[in-house]
Amino acid sequence: MYEFAVTPAITQLRRPGVTITEVASESLAEELDLAPNDRIVKVNGRSVRDYLDFRFQTAGETELTFLVRKSTGESLEIEFDRDEGEDLGLTFEQIVPRQCANECLFCFCKGNPEDARPSLFVRDEDIRLSFLYGNYTTLSSITDDEMNRIIEQRLTPQYVSVHATDLKTRAYLLGVDEKRADIFDKFQRLLDNGIEIHAQVVLCPEINDGKQLEKTLRDLAGHYPKVVSTAVVPVALTRYNTDERLTRVTPEFCRRTIQQVEKLQKEFRRTLGTTFAFLGDEIYLKGGVEIPSRRHYGNYPQIEDGVGMVRTFLHGFEKLLNGFQTEAKRLEAVGLARQYFRNSRTHPDARVPVTARAETTLPIERSRGKKLYGTILTGEMFAPILAEQIARYNALSGARLTVLAVPNTYFGGDVSVAGLLCGKDYLNVKDKIAGDFVIIPKHTIKSDEPILLDGMTFDELRSRFNVPVYADDMPAFFARLGSGK
Ligand code: SF4
């Protein structure tokens, strides 16, 4: 999910136009004397509300007129031509998110500690962020203007939190009346106009599970392929979610859900040719059930929602180790050949001696430079899987990497995923660090600002460790293991 900056939501609400934040050097925008803090208010006579309007109104246009409000307050019209497809070289402010009008039982905002970073308390419900970043909306309070905009500007796909197709259940979960919870007409209108939808169910035991879940998945699958996929993710309750109407997700509940949904998945594969209903990774991990194969996930339509991430990781790791093994074989062959020729010179009839093999032990270590010696921090849920893979890597490369499962004491409750680890959680395990460095998951740091979920800056975190702290995403992590640096 995209987490936006909270400041623009407060300071820039309802200002017309879109503000430029950067102008690329030697770009067309620079030639036109556009500068950071200028606002583009109209394009070819049409008002611009945000970056998406700007993109829509300039797309494919070669003759353009901008009405620009300069940061000095002066307004001017700029008329110009550009080549087809020529980039203007502009970067814009973030979109100011629209807020939701729901009171969901399980809302993550209710599960935040008081001192969590402010952006975690913003209840966004924005079709633009849904289109741009895959954020879910409930469509419950969407206006006609927004509906028209989705259709006119082809903001497809949209990501919709359905939770349950039974109206009573949906209204109960969203904390709104049934009239507001009823999105059937809107949903249908989007589908009729060619807007694709990825649906989501936040699974709450004893509310929208069992028969309710089956009904929801069948109803949604009835709209396939316009409803492209559905993600079923478990409700995650922190220690601050104390609503008695909510029941915590247990390993037994996960296993039962897997069994139930597997039957439907088989049916959907047979009738639709796709798994269609995907269970979140957390359900498999918590239930202690093996993660499905790559084929199960197809093109990973809901990976941003934590569906298929573990399989992607395991696949990437397998490729990394295969690469090592191939290289090991090549080096071993080279070593054996060298040894053979050395021996041949002294003993023409000598066969390749067994000792030649000893010389090629851990060939990767020699070929990739220094061995990695450090600690990888991750959430308690993913730690056993990561530790297993790292043990294979260590055995093959001679590295000394340790995986440390970090308890989430900041949010507490059922929260054990890596993505919600905080600065304080990392500091709690500081004394258990072994080696020359620490790696933390990059997605625990805000994407546009080096700050963790509890408000600690990345700089502060680093200053509290005696060894360098690296924040790696998956590609960077694999690159580090691959290069041994
Ligand atoms: S839609 Fe529900 S879960 Fe999402 S922000 Fe609003 S109240 Fe919270």
Domains of the chain by residue range: 12-92, 108-306, 312-483
What pLDDT, on a 0 to 100 scale, did the predictor assign at position 363?
Answer: 46
- Which residues on neighbouring strands pair with residue 46, listed in sequence order? 43
What pLDDT, on a 0 to 100 scale, did the predictor assign at position 480?
Answer: 94
- Is 112 near ligand 1, meaning CB less than 6 Å away? no
Q: Vertex 416, ends 405 and 161: CA angle to 5°?
A: 150
What pLDDT, on a 0 to 100 scale, did the predictor assign at position 330?
Answer: 73
Task: Output the pTM of the full model.
Answer: 0.85
Q: What mean pLDDT value characterizes the chain?
A: 89
Contact indicator for 235, 249 with CB cutoff of 8 Å = yes
Distance 105 CA to ligand 1 centre (A): 9
Q: Which two tokens stand for residue 457?
A: 């800056």
At residue 409, does pLDDT exceed 70? yes
Name the CATH superfamily for 12-92: PDZ domain (2.30.42.10)
What pLDDT, on a 0 to 100 scale, did the predictor assign at position 342?
Answer: 57
| Minimum-distance ligand 1 atom for the alpha carbon of 103 | 7
CA proximity to 482, closest of 325, 251, 279, 336: 325
What pLDDT, on a 0 to 100 scale, did the predictor assign at position 308?
Answer: 97
More confident residue, 26 or 485: 26
More confident residue, 85 or 267: 267
- Is 102 near ligand 1, meaning CB less than 6 Å away? yes
Among 83-97, 250-264, 326-340, 409-423, the minimum mean pLDDT is found in 326-340
Distance 87 CA to ligand 1 centre (A): 37
- Is 104 near ligand 1, meaning CB less than 6 Å away? yes
Give the CA count within 13 Å in the CB-facing half-sphere of 321.
16
Contact indicator for 151, 190 with CB cutoff of 8 Å = yes
Distance 400 CA to ligand 1 centre (A): 43
Ordered DSSP codes for 99-158: BP----TT-GGGGS-TTS-GGGG--B--HHHHHHH---B--TT--HHHHHHHHHTT---E
d(CA 147, CA 217): 24
- Is 3 near ligand 1, meaning CB less than 6 Å away? no
Contact indicator for 203, 235 with CB cutoff of 8 Å = yes
> What average pLDDT does the segment 464-484 reach?
94
At residue 352, does pLDDT exceed 80? no
Q: What is the pLDDT of residues 218-252, one digit of tens each?
A: 999 999 999 999 999 999 899 998 899 999 999 99
Q: What percent of the chain has pLDDT over 70?
A: 88
| Minimum-distance ligand 1 atom for the alpha carbon of 123 | 5
> What average pLDDT does the segment 404-430 reach?
94
What pLDDT, on a 0 to 100 scale, did the predictor assign at position 358?
Answer: 37
Contact indicator for 23, 59 with CB cutoff of 8 Å = no
The best mutation among 102, 173, 240, 243 to test binding of ligand 1, ranked by most ligand atoms within 8 Å of the C-beta, falls on: 102
Among 10-14, 70-74, 403-407, the minimum mean pLDDT is found in 10-14
Residues with Cβ within 8 Å of residue 427, at least 6 apart in sequence: 461, 464
Distance 283 CA to ligand 1 centre (A): 21
What pLDDT, on a 0 to 100 scale, did the predictor assign at position 369?
Answer: 43
Distance (Å) of CA 105 to CA 76, 119, 165, 316, 382:
50, 20, 17, 37, 27
Residues with Cβ within 8 Å of residue 294, at least 6 apart in sequence: 311, 315
What pLDDT, on a 0 to 100 scale, did the predictor assign at position 15?
Answer: 74
Q: What is the pLDDT of residues 281-324, one digit of tens each?
A: 999 999 999 999 999 999 999 998 999 999 999 999 999 998 87
Pairing mode, if any, of strands 75-81 and 400-406?
Answer: unpaired
Which helix (H) or strand (E) element contains residue 325? helix 309-346
CA proximity to 391, closest of 481, 472, 473: 481
Q: Which two tokens stand for residue 145?
A: 């203007």
The gap between the terminal CA atoms of the chain, to the nearest Å, is 31
Q: Name the CATH architecture for the domain at 108-306.
A: Alpha-Beta Horseshoe (3.80)
What pLDDT, on a 0 to 100 scale, did the predictor assign at position 326?
Answer: 76
Q: Exposed/middle/buried for 113, CB within 10 Å: 0-12, 13-18, 19+? A: middle
Q: What percent of the chain has pLDDT over 90?
A: 77
Q: How many residues does the chain have?
A: 485
Which helix (H) or strand (E) element contains residue 172? helix 167-174
